């Protein structure tokens, strides 16, 4: 059985004071969560707060990106090793906002993924199609390409050490969620694609859904056979909503 993972991607939100409040709010309710694994990904400057406040709790923390370089003269970048140093267990790679606004290619993302694994972090690889691509019937082609970027650079062994997040771009921050059937179809496709390399890895790898997941729709999404949790944006910024999604994960474990 795959343990549900509920991960909050806080994106570029919150002040220092708001981050402390949110971390404490999630911490205060974590005892109610019985089965799901829970993690939060604050902005880089607040990782030290997560490390400090979440210490001794089962709540993990991670970053939203890492450099594709090991170290050196790369102004403004943050390495996988630095994240490890701040107690991170996870790092998101290949989020569509980075593909779009930072021009990240599958090759760059594959390199980030490999460095994360090398430094003992669990990468959360985001894959997903735009609305235009979906309307052109290219959803499977696009998510396969995103997945293959990692399969080609790190192989199935690297993939086994990460988590996949299916995030249809048209559902991110729009309030338009994929229907459970639409999401399940893509999750099943991704798992089958992994199974072509290794049935065992396909069975074990967690595939999260992300895109306007909230307390009202989390349960029916996570009830799907191949949806193993959520990568939550907006709803992760309110402790009550985030914890409610974690509970929905418990109910569908
Ligand atoms: O990484 C998280 C996703 O981009 C989902 O964001 P959202 O829940 O605000 O739609």
Whether 11 has a binding-site annotation, put simply, is: yes
Minimal-distance CA residue to ligand 1 atom 6: 233
Spacing, Cα 184 to ligand 1 middle (Å): 17
- The total domain count for the chain is 1
**CATH code of residue 119:** 3.20.20.70
Query: Cβ of 240: how many Cβ atoms within 10 Å?
Result: 11
Locate the ligand 1 atom nearest the alpha carbon of residue 236 and give its number. 8
What phi, psi does 27 have (nearest 5°)?
-60, -40
User: Residue 6: in which H helix or E strand, if any?
Assistant: strand 5-9
C-alpha pair distances (Å), 159 with each of 47, 50, 129, 148, 215 = 25, 26, 20, 10, 29
Spacing, Cα 96 to ligand 1 middle (Å): 10
* Residues in the chain with pLDDT values less than 50: none
Residue 40: HSE in the Cβ half-sphere, 13 Å Cα cutoff = 34
Helix (H, G, I), strand (E, B) or coil at 76: coil
Query: Residue 90 forms beta bridges with which residues?
Result: 62, 122
Spacing, Cα 212 to ligand 1 middle (Å): 6
Give the range of the structural domain holding residue 186, as residue numbers without chain letter. Answer: 5-251
Catalytic residues: 95, 167
Burial readout 4-15 (b: 16 or more C-beta within 10 A, e: otherwise)? bbbbbbbbeebe
Helix (H, G, I), strand (E, B) or coil at 75: coil
Burial readout 178-200 (b: 16 or more C-beta within 10 A, e: otherwise)? bebeebbebbebbbebbeeebee
Whether 10 has a binding-site annotation, put simply, is: yes
Q: Is the pTM of this model over 0.90?
A: yes
Contact 93, 108 (CB under 8 A): no
User: Residue 63: in which H helix or E strand, if any?
Assistant: strand 60-63
Q: What is the best residue among 234, 242, 244, 248 to mutate for testing ligand 1's pocket, by most ligand atoms within 8 Å of CB?
A: 234
Q: Can you spell out the DSSP letters for 80-126?
A: HHHHHHTT--EEEES-HHHHHHS---HHHHHHHHHHHHHTT-EEEEE
CA angle 8, 201, 134 (to 5 degrees): 60
């Amino acid at each position: 059985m795959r343990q549900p993972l509920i991960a909050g991607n806080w994106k570029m939100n919150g002040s220092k004071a708001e981050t402390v409040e949110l971390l404490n709010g999630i911490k205060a309710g974590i005892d109610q969560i019985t089965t799901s694994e829970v993690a939060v990904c604050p902005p880089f400057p607040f990782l030290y707060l997560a490390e400090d406040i979440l210490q001794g709790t089962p709540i993990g923390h991670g970053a939203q990106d890492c450099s594709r370089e090991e170290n050196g003269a790369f102004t403004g970048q943050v390495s996988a090793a630095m994240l490890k140093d701040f107690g991170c267990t996870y790092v998101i790679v290949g989020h569509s906002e980075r593909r779009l606004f930072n021009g990240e290619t599958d090759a760059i993302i594959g390199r980030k993924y490999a460095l994360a694994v090398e430094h003992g972090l669990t990468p959360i690889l985001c894959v997903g199609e735009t609305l235009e691509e979906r309307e052109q019937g290219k959803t499977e082609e696009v998510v396969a390409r995103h997945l293959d970027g990692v399969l080609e650079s790190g192989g199935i062994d690297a993939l086994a050490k990460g988590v996949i997040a299916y995030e249809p771009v048209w559902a991110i921050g729009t309030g338009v969620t994929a229907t459970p059937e639409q999401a399940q179809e893509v999750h099943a496709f991704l798992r089958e694609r992994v199974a072509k390399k290794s049935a065992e890895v396909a069975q074990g790898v967690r595939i999260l859904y992300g895109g306007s997941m909230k307390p009202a729709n989390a349960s029916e999404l996570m009830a799907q056979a191949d949806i193993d949790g959520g990568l939550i944006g907006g709803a992760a910024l309110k402790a009550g909503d985030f914890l409610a999604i974690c509970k929905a994960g418990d109910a569908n474990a």
